[in-house]
Amino acid sequence: MTSYKTMKKLILFVLLLFTVFAVGACQDTEPTEPTIIPTEPTVIPTEPLPSSPDDFDTIEGKVAWYIDHMTIEEKAGQMIQAERTTNGGQSGALTNEVTLYRLGSILNGGGNVPGSNTVAGWLQMVRLYQNASKYTPQRIPLLYGVDAVHGHNNLLNSTIFPHNIGLAAANNPELMYQIGERTAYEVAQTGINMNFSPSIGLIKDVRWGRTYETLGEDPQRALGLISPFIEGLQMYNIAATAKHFVGDGYTTYGTGINGGLDRGNSIITMDELYDIHLPLYEEAISAGVKSIMISYSSINGLRMHESEELITNILKNELGFNGFVISDYEATNDVSGSTFEQKIINTINAGIDMLMEPHKFDQTHQAIINGYNNGDIDISRINDAVSRILTVKYEIGLFDENRVVPEADLRSAESLAVARQAVRESLVLLKNENNVLPLAKTDNLLILGPGSNNLGIQSGGWTLTWQGTESYNSAGTTILEAFQAETEGNIYTDINDIDQADAVIVVLAEKPAAEWFGDSGNLSLNGQTAYQANVDVLQAIASTDKPVIVMLVSGKPLLVTNYINNFDAFVMAFLPGTEGLGITDVLYGDYDFKGTLPYTYPRLLSQSAHTMLDTNYNESDYLFPYGYGLRYQS
């Protein structure tokens, strides 16, 4: 006769087999209501639990209750952030796996969006995952993270603000708060509660593809912008993430991926670390940032993800960071260790609390359990990590049954006004011979160049997709459309009409790109990250006697030394986002220029790795020095 225990195991096997087939069948679909997967608990209480977390008045007491009552399987799950299933069928976390592995967090990587890329589509998806967490033994809600680095940039028809480098040019703390708050407002509408922003690093070598994610090269300017930005981003119960700890913008060319800068090695002395880089994170901690993400890069040859000295001893103990530390996307791949399990162990022991393991979350779960069982990860380290994560979940109200999600309100009048202001304040006037700017609205204009009429180019990387896209069919106003909307004269776009124009506007541009692919070895106008059309159009108008106004839409300063003598005016526009009317606000003179260069603009390629902090810095050697920017009014 079949025993009850044997029959129970048989039923469990059949249910798990059914789940495997169900997961495989729905890889290309939206997540569905979870199947409840019965699992035998590791510890079976012999008597009723003495209390519940709700019996405690303090977050500390509630968290301590969970630490006392969670199994190692539950604790391991809280330390993992998995990626949702992609539309292309790539492996990822379904709702059932949230329940099975007791996952603490889910993320959407860049470009990983629900089938319906709308507020309603996102909200439905997030709620399905949150519902799955209710079937875990402790019913701990999920953190759901997304890279909303210049607005809710994965969401179609959201408000896209200028990237950080433009905001550093604007250097307006109050505006930083407003941008953070408006971003949080649109993120909260989709049910998301964690944002992998802001990036608060500094830039040393402008060839880096992530130059536009930094706050420039001056720590003093950056320090004034970090706190208000974080305070705004953490409105609506969103957990912001300061990144990438630490020194990620100081890598040496040739040490990164494909011989570039990204994920490379930074040579930094302890004095430089304390004088230049760590104060940025002290500022973020003072602002109450909930999470800090570790950099892919190394410092003096040691991967940041395995630096116990910097993560545990300095960030947590010395600087007093009480939030949780999260790894970057699959960053454990670069950590030392002969096996994946050993890499996970080394990462956790360095002080990282949550592991962003998008597709190996099941292996990560087992690796943490094995590390504990084998004595390679002390329970105190695990308890510390889980305590930090649960504390943040309480602080942002995830346990609140009445947590409010704002109604859908993308691109509100307030959001668009803030974005437009950010665009006009970020523009930097670098040259204005004979006061050709401002333009008169009655002028007839010829507008040319690859950046003149493309929202994807205007917005750059991390817009709808990880690397950005030229095919950005979303709401917004291109530079050309802005001029068409504001002019009282005629707008031409064909070079054959140059004789009809009073002035020529050329919008040079860099291709949309992000980390890794965005590195430029030569900073050329037609190099690997830019367009041949930049050079073609400049050559085509080289002999014109019309005033030539050149704008550069780019995440980094491309070399224009060989061409600038032919420019009557030169405007650095960085990556302004979707609100092109902020550009015409200034070029037509309704507002004056306010922006100043947040980095030193090189004259030569050999100057690309210098900053105004260098002891041998001589501003006259460069095309434009740090902090340069002209005005209409002296």
**How many Cβ atoms are within 10 Å of 379's Cβ, its own excluded?**
12
- pLDDT band for position 50 (50/70/90)? low
Single-letter amino acid, residue 13: F
Measured at the CA of 543, the angle between CA 542 and CA 546, to 5 degrees, comes to: 95
Task: Describe the crossing of helices 379-395 and 361-373 by its angle, rounded to 10 degrees.
Answer: 130
pLDDT for the residue numbered 85: 81
At 633, the pLDDT band (50, 70, 90 cuts) reads confident
Residue 349 CB neighbours (<10 A): 17
Class of domain 4-395: alpha beta
Tell me what pLDDT residue 86 has.
60
Q: Which pLDDT score, from 0 to 100, does residue 26 have?
A: 36
pLDDT at 18: 36
- Quote the radius of gyration of the chain (alpha carbons, Å): 26
Q: What type of residue is 454?
A: N
Residue 511 CA to its chain's centroid (Å) = 18
Is domain 413-621 in CATH 3.40.50.170, yes or no?
A: no
Quote the pLDDT of residue 469: 97
What's the pLDDT at 36?
42
- Asked if residue 589 has pLDDT above 50, the reply is yes
Report the 10 Å Cβ neighbour count for 493.
14
Q: Residue 186: which pLDDT band, with cuts at 50, 70 and 90? A: very high
Average pLDDT over residues 489-504: 98
In this prediction the pTM is 0.93
47 annotated active-site: no
Q: Rounded mean pLDDT of 380-389?
A: 98
- CA 214-218-224 angle, to 5 degrees, is 80
Tell me whether strands 324-326 and 355-356 are parallel, antiparallel or unpaired: unpaired
Closest CA to 476 of 401, 398, 411: 411
- Active-site residue (options: 73, 328, 341, 585): 328
| Beta strands, E only, 388-444 | 428-432
327 Cβ contact list (under 8 Å, min separation 6): 293, 294, 305, 347, 352, 354, 355, 356, 357
pLDDT at 92: 76
Q: Is the peptide bond before 163 cis (omega within 30 degrees of 0)?
A: no
In angstroms, the CA 15 to CA 7 distance is 12
The DSSP output letter for 163 is: P
Among candidate residues 515, 519, 568, 579, the one labeled active-site is 515
Parse the chain into domains and list their residue ranges: 4-395, 413-621
7 pLDDT above the threshold of 80: no
SS3 content of the chain, % helix, strand, coil (to 5): 40, 15, 45
> Mean pLDDT, to the nearest integer, of 186-200?
98
Whole-number Å distance between alpha carbons of 325 and 630 = 42
DSSP string, 189-202: TTT--EE---B---
Contacts of 315-321 spanning 24+ positions with Cβ under 8 A: 315/245, 315/246, 315/281, 315/351, 316/351, 319/278, 319/281, 319/282, 319/285, 320/285, 321/281, 321/285, 321/292
Q: How would you list the strands of the sheet with 291-294, edge to edge?
A: 324-326, 291-294, 239-245, 194-195, 143-146, 105-108, 80-83, 355-356
**Phi-psi category of residue 459: left, alpha or beta, with phi > 0 → left and psi -120 to 50 → alpha:** alpha
pLDDT exceeds 80 at position 610? yes
Which whole number is the average pLDDT over 514-522? Answer: 96
The whole-number pLDDT of residue 408 equals 97
Tell me what pLDDT residue 476 has. 98
Residue 163, number of CB atoms within 10 A of its CB: 29
> Where does the pLDDT of residue 17 fall: very low under 50, low under 70, confident under 90, or very high at 90 and above?
very low
Report d(CA 405, CA 397) in Å as an integer. 12
Task: Dump pLDDT digits (tens) for 529-577.
Answer: 999 999 999 999 999 999 999 999 999 999 999 999 999 999 999 999 9
In the sheet where 503-509 sits, what is the strand order?
428-432, 569-574, 548-553, 503-509, 445-448, 491-492
Predicted pLDDT at 284: 98
Q: What is the pLDDT of residues 105-159, one digit of tens each?
A: 999 999 999 999 999 999 999 999 999 999 999 999 999 999 999 999 999 999 9
Dump strand ranges (E) for 491-604.
Answer: 491-492, 503-509, 548-553, 569-574
Q: What sign for the dihedral angle of Cα 246, 251, 256, 261?
A: positive
DSSP state string for 376-400: SS-HHHHHHHHHHHHHHHHHTTTT-
Average pLDDT of the residues in 366-376: 98
Angle between helices 219-233 and 173-188 (to 10 degrees): 30
Question: How many CB atoms sit inside 10 A of residue 621's CB?
Answer: 14
Dump pLDDT digits (tens) for 393-432: 999 999 998 899 999 999 999 999 999 999 999 999 999 9
Q: How confident is the model at residue 634 (pLDDT cuts 50, 70, 90)?
A: low
- Closest to 218 measured CA to CA, from 613, 623, 604: 613
**The dihedral sign for the CA sequence 620, 621, 626, 632:** positive
Q: Is 328 a catalytic residue?
A: yes
Task: Judge contact between 387 and 325, C-beta under 8 A.
Answer: no
Number of neighbouring beta carbons within 10 Å of residue 282: 17
Which H, E and C letters describe 206-232, residue by residue? CCCCCHHHCCCCCHHHHHHHHHHHHHH
Mean per-residue pLDDT, 468-475: 96
